[in-house]
């Protein structure tokens, strides 16, 4: 295996493992704020304890995100030095702001939230929860703005030595790609947090312990999950899809397995892309649907892969196609599951309907899977470009870091992260096992 492939695998592993944690902290920050708002408005200690319980899990998750995020950023220098040299003056802006502004805002007020409740009043404690949420979501914005620039570079010019020079900070921040990608990503984090909270609540109800908290967690998780799963489809998913159709049409064709340009292009529900024969095998399609979803006209022309040079096609079309369809398929299942749970909640039967509670409890890992495949879709869709239209991936890696060195460090990271994963699961399990009342007493 060559060095470039190993550089890509190394970064893919570290960023995939890292993003397990931020997606929960960003969504959970909002749900904790909702619990604290209920506590402030009602004066009910139950909501205070529920918020404290999730804040402890938030803190564990946040710490793991920090530990796994810092090495990932160093990889820009170790594995992708040519990319860093060329684009550092652009991406350095947003990455620095994420660290200086949002990270310190989130971490500082997380400390206040966890340890300052008895020293500050209820309103100030609510404000600390709000600032933790604001810092978390601001952090997400700066990271998404960085990725959005790589997907759709704006506000730059090329220097005399080929370096990319930022000419407009505001164009970087207001990149049209950022808006829908950010909303889609943050809505996805709420989906993850909702399913995690619902799963823990369902566990308490099924085991008949901490049932008051179980009902609160299930109720809030199902309501937030119902709203966020629908928002993932429209408008955020629709908006992100239009980003791809307008700015990366070859990516759209590969995601949909559309090898030939068509008027009234069908939407492929299932099928297997055969790149060599340039066709989709065993397709199950909805006629004209892709044209309508993309351009709001049933017989609009959608360019297939045949409209683009083969060297501009995504590197791995089958992986891109399957990742996209797994993400969409799981998202559809999420909507169905939350719709069933919402109906039962509305009828007042959810808390005693054990099959539904089992379903909600066992669905905990699937939002993580859907989000992972969503990011694979985003990043594989940009290939073979590291910065779309400006720098190919092969031109951005570190030329003096050998395949052997990269493989050695990748194996080392895998071993260390396996230990971190076991530690994380143990710490979260211990918090769930002790329950909200034990947290309150502590």
Backbone angles phi and psi of 116, in degrees to 5: -110, 5
CA dihedral 295, 301, 302, 307 (to 10 degrees): -140
Tally of structural domains, the chain: 1
Is pLDDT of 283 > 50? yes
Domain extent for 35: 3-261+303-441
Res. 136: pLDDT tops 50: yes
Residue 144 has pLDDT above 50, yes or no: yes
pLDDT level of residue 439 (50, 70, 90 thresholds): low
Confidence of residue 441 (pLDDT cuts 50, 70, 90): very low
pLDDT in tens, 192-226: 999 999 999 999 999 999 999 999 999 999 999 99
The answer to whether position 268 is within a domain reads no
The reply to whether 215 falls in a domain is yes
Residue 273 lies in a domain: no
pLDDT tens per residue across span 351-396: 999 999 999 999 999 999 999 999 999 999 999 999 999 999 999 9
Identify whether 91 is part of a domain: yes
Residue 161 has pLDDT above 90, yes or no: no
Number of H helices, E strands in the chain: 16, 8
pLDDT the model gives residue 442: 42
What does the angle CA 257 – CA 377 – CA 274 come to, to the nearest 5 degrees? Answer: 25
CB 243 within 8 A of CB 148: no
Tell me the C-alpha to C-alpha distance, in Å, between residue 71 and each of 65, 105, 416, 426: 11, 21, 12, 23
As a whole number, mean pLDDT of residues 44-52 equals: 95
Mean residue pLDDT across the chain: 95
The C-alpha angle 226, 188, 228, rounded to 5 degrees, equals 20
Is 121 within a domain?
yes
- The CA radius of gyration of the chain, in Å to the nearest whole number, is 23
Helix (H) or strand (E) holding 283: strand 279-286
Q: Is residue 296 part of a domain?
A: no
Burial of 52 (0-12, 13-18, 19+ CB in 10 A): buried
pLDDT at 63 over 60: yes
Per-residue pLDDT of 310-338, as tens digits, reads 999 999 999 999 999 999 999 999 999 99
Q: What confidence category does residue 228 fall into, taking pLDDT thresholds of 50, 70 and 90?
A: very high
pLDDT in tens, 73-132: 889 889 999 999 999 999 999 999 998 888 889 999 999 999 887 788 899 999 999 999
Tokens read off for 73? 């950023």
Provide the token pair at 366: 């699937």
User: Is the pLDDT confidence value at 416 over 60?
Assistant: yes
| Bond before 384 cis per omega within 30 degrees | yes
Calculate what percentage of the chain has a pLDDT beyond 90. Answer: 91
298 in any annotated domain: no
Q: Centre a 10 Å sphere on the Cβ of residue 350 and count the other Cβ atoms it contains.
A: 22
Task: Respond yes or no on whether the N-terminal peptide bond of residue 235 is cis (omega within 30° of 0).
Answer: yes
pLDDT for res 116: 82
Give φ, ψ of 260 to 5 degrees: -130, 140
Q: Is residue 290 part of a domain?
A: no
């Amino acid at each position: 295996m060559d060095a470039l492939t190993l550089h890509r695998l190394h970064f893919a592993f570290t960023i995939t493992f890292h993003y397990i944690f931020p997606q929960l902290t960003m969504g959970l920050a909002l749900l904790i704020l909702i619990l604290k708002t209920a506590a402030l408005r009602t004066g009910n200690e139950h909501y205070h304890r529920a918020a404290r319980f999730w804040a402890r899990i938030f803190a564990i998750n946040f710490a793991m995100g920090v530990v796994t995020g810092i090495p990932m950023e160093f990889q820009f220098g170790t594995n992708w030095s040519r990319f860093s040299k060329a684009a550092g003056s652009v991406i350095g802006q947003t990455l620095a702001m994420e660290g200086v502004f949002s990270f310190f805002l989130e971490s500082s007020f997380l400390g206040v939230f966890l340890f300052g409740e008895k020293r500050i009043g209820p309103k100030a404690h609510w404000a600390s929860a709000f600032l933790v949420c604001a810092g978390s979501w601001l952090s997400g914005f700066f990271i998404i703005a960085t990725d959005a620039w790589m997907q759709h570079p704006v506000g730059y010019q090329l220097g005399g030595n080929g370096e990319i020079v930022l000419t407009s900070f505001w164009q970087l921040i207001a990149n049209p790609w950022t808006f829908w990608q950010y909303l889609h990503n943050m809505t996805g984090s709420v989906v993850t947090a909702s399913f995690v909270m619902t799963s823990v609540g369902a566990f308490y109800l099924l085991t008949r312990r901490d049932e008051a908290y179980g009902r609160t967690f299930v109720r809030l998780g199902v309501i937030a999950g119902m709203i966020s799963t629908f928002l993932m489809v429209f408008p955020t998913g629709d908006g992100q899809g239009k980003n791809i159709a307008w700015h990366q049409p070859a990516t759209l064709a590969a995601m949909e397995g559309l090898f030939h340009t068509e008027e009234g292009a069908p939407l492929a529900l299932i099928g297997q892309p055969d790149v060599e024969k340039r066709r989709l095998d065993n397709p199950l399609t909805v006629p004209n649907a892709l044209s309508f979803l993309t351009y709001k006209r049933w017989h609009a022309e959608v360019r297939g892969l045949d409209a683009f040079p083969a060297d501009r096609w995504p590197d791995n079309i089958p992986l891109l196609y399957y990742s996209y369809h797994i993400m969409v398929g799981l998202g559809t299942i999420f909507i169905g599951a939350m719709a069933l749970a919402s109906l039962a909640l509305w009828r007042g039967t959810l808390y005693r309907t054990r099959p539904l509670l089992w379903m909600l409890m066992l669905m905990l890992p699937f939002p993580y899977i859907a989000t992972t495949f969503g990011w694979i879709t985003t990043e594989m869709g940009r290939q073979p470009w590291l910065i779309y239209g400006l720098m190919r991936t092969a031109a951005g890696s570190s030329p003096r870091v050998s395949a052997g060195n990269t493989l050695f460090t990748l194996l080392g990271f895998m071993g260390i992260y396996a230990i971190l994963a076991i530690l994380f699961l143990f710490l979260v399990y211990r918090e769930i096992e002790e329950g909200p009342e034990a947290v309150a007493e502590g």
